[in-house]
């Protein structure tokens, strides 16, 4: 989480396993594409920096953040990855739509983590305004895509140790 004390892109690279055999699926929402595509670039760059081959990064797009749960479930079956990253951005508006989408995708991804045999990493920004989203998609607070990629690598390694 980006706060005044932690940048999303700050981590000790020595704690991230080199992962040349890792297979990672990324499902990215098209809604708020200027933000989500920045998150996607951050995730892909970070995965490759830690040895994941570009050919082992599978990217698909869905219309919006709410559809990420279905997209992740289908990608798990189709690509058989070691981890899945979901990337989206929901910006609060004047209606309760924000709450429904955020709650739905959070519950959906949590559920996938309990039924799938692989980690599904929550890379969804839930912000009050577009400036906050920009700040967390490569801006002053780093890139949530970087954080999601590091988490995917670490959780895939954790999962491998538990088998």
Question: Does 61 participate in catalysis according to the annotation?
Answer: no
Strand partners, 70: none
Nearest to 69 by CA among 90, 57, 87: 87
**CB–CB of 16/52 below 8 Å?**
no
Token digits of residue 109: 């991804």
**CB–CB of 150/49 below 8 Å?**
no
DSSP class of residue 82?
S
Q: Which of 50, 61, 78, 97 is catalytic?
A: 97
Annotated catalytic sites, by residue?
A: 97
């Amino acid at each position: 989480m980006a706060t005044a004390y932690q940048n999303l892109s700050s981590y000790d690279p020595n704690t991230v396993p080199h992962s040349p055999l890792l297979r990672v699926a990324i499902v990215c929402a098209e809604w708020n594409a200027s933000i989500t595509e920045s998150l996607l670039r951050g995730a892909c760059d970070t995965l490759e920096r830690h040895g994941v081959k570009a050919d082992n990064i599978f990217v698909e797009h869905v219309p919006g953040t709410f559809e990420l749960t279905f997209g992740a479930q289908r990608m798990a079956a189709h690509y058989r990855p070691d981890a899945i990253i979901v990337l989206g951005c929901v910006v609060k508006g004047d209606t309760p739509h924000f709450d429904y989408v955020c709650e739905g995708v959070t519950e959906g991804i949590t559920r996938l983590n309990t039924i799938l045999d692989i980690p599904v990493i929550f890379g969804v920004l839930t912000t009050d305004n577009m400036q906050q989203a920009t700040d967390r998609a490569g801006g002053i607070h780093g890139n949530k895509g970087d954080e999601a990629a590091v988490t995917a690598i670490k959780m895939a390694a954790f999962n491998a140790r538990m088998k």
